[in-house]
Amino acid sequence: MPRRELPYEDEPVTTTPHPLTRLLQRWTQRVRAFDGRRPLVWDVLVTGFFVSAALIDATGGWRNTAADRDVAQGPILLMSLALSVPLLWRRRHPLAALTVMAAATAVSNWTGAWLQAALIQFIVVFNIALRLPLRTLGRAAAMTALPMTVCVFAHPRDSWGELVVPQIWSFAVVALAGIAVRSRQDHTQALVERARRLEVERDQQAQLATAAERTRIAREMHDIIGHNLSVITGLADGGSYAAAKSPERAAEALEAIGTTSRQALGELRRLLDVLRDDTPATTADRSPQPALTDLDRLIDGVRAAGLPVRSTVRGRPTSVPAGRQLTVYRVIQEALTNTLKHGGPDATATVDVSCTDTGVTVNITDTGTGGSSPPGSGRGLTGMRERTSLYDGTLEAGPLPVPRGGWRVHLHLPTDSLPENSETP
């Protein structure tokens, strides 16, 4: 059986508003803007329009629907003005305006004039439903019910079909329209406020992310440049000392300086490539971050710079998540760098790494006599604490007792503080 084509199923769906709709929206926005800038002028224009309509009806048109066509022209004019002029205060004093209009409507119904200008009071009812608390609608309903009661007593025969039922329906429809418009405005304002809060939160999140990224970059650059420059300085000092007595040792020092410099430039270039906006993520260098398996190379470089280091690694370093391995590596790197800088010429260092099921524990001690930088004097100790806090670890750094001397750094990272796929610091 051939497939039955549904009508209009191939027509494109468009969300572009109709030109007439756009025109109406534009004019509505202009009217609202004018009302916001000059509310009094707008109130005078609206009131003037309805006053003119009421006076035109008062010249004779009111007799077409009146129960008594012999009412004097003077009271008709006064009642028409009382039913239209209070519209000027519909926004500032809506209840007072409705009171005057309800009184005029009661007089109109009692005399039998039944002026059509009484319908103007529902504009005030709409403003009450739109702007005042909803409980005020009860008072407004009572004010509009009073003229209907007068009409029932004065003209019990024709008033129900002519005035009472239309008045009840008119009040209900106008009140519901005002509530609907008010709900729409409240919903729109809530959406606008939510959008504003989301923009503020987005900006705050962006600022926090920027600050965190700047801190991370500063920490990485400090670890990379600070350590490698310290190693290069130690190699250069040792090479210059050995140049006169042992040219071979000087050549080895120069070669080690070149190797260390190239490694530092490579790590720095990789870090800077990530920061470049015009570098696609797919073309960035994806070489792995240093891990515990790279400790031997790190310690060899420190030894080549003139610092004797004894290292011990227990357990299975490969079982430690990559983020924690990088943290341990950077802490050891920073501790050895501080020993190179401040430990003195006869300092030695010991690195002890223990990998267990409960976490990773690291102890770095030295026998330096030159002292270390006091806590908070540089980025090194701050960076170590920041890295440690990412994994809810503990870091202790301070001088050893006086008889022995030197400096000690103790690090412990638990294994269950963060999932293994957490972000690398």
Question: CA torsion sign, 208 to 210 to 212 to 215?
Answer: negative
Tell me how far apart the alpha carbons of residues 260 and 283 are, in angstroms, rounded to a whole number: 25
At 409, which helix (H) or strand (E)?
Answer: strand 407-414
In 3D space, the residue among 136, 117, 121, 145 whose CA is nearest the CA of residue 179 turns out to be: 136
Confidence check: pLDDT of 164 > 90: no
Q: Give DSSP secondary structure letters for 26-44.
A: HHHHHHHHHHHH-HHHHHH
pLDDT at 167: 80
Strand pairing category for 394-399 and 407-414: antiparallel
Q: Which of 78-92, 194-208, 319-333 ranks highest by mean pLDDT? A: 78-92
Q: Identify whether the C-beta of residue 121 lies closer than 8 Å to the C-beta of residue 166.
A: no
* Beta strand ranges found along 169-209 (DSSP E): none
Confidence check: pLDDT of 369 > 80: no
Q: Identify whether the C-beta of residue 125 lies closer than 8 Å to the C-beta of residue 101.
A: no
pLDDT at 253: 66
| Mean pLDDT, residues 104-117 | 85
Q: Identify whether the C-beta of residue 396 lies closer than 8 Å to the C-beta of residue 409.
A: yes
Over the stretch 265-279, which tens digit does the pLDDT of each residue have? 766 666 666 565 554
Confidence check: pLDDT of 120 > 80: yes
* CB contact burial 139-155 (16+ within 10 A = b; e otherwise): ebeebbeebbebbeeeb
Regarding predicted confidence, which is higher, 270 or 146?
146
Instruction: Mean pLDDT check: name the lowest of 64-73, 140-149, 254-263.
Output: 254-263
Over the stretch 10-31, which tens digit does the pLDDT of each residue have? 445 455 667 887 787 788 788 7
- The first and second tokens of residue 216, run together, are 């991370």
Over the stretch 165-216, which tens digit does the pLDDT of each residue have? 778 888 889 999 999 988 988 898 899 899 888 888 888 888 887 777 777 7
**Portion of the chain with pLDDT greater than 90, in percent:** 15
Confidence check: pLDDT of 254 > 50: yes
Question: CA torsion sign, 45 to 47 to 53 to 56?
Answer: negative
Q: Identify whether the C-beta of residue 82 lies closer than 8 Å to the C-beta of residue 118.
A: no
Over the stretch 389-410, which tens digit does the pLDDT of each residue have? 888 899 998 888 876 778 899 9
Q: Identify whether the C-beta of residue 397 lies closer than 8 Å to the C-beta of residue 409.
A: yes
Domains and CATH numbers, the chain: 19-157 (no CATH), 308-425 (3.30.565.10)
Q: Identify whether the C-beta of residue 255 lies closer than 8 Å to the C-beta of residue 247.
A: no
Confidence check: pLDDT of 306 > 90: no
Tell me how far apart the alpha carbons of residues 78 and 1 are, in angstroms, rounded to a whole number: 78
The SS3 call for residue 425 is coil
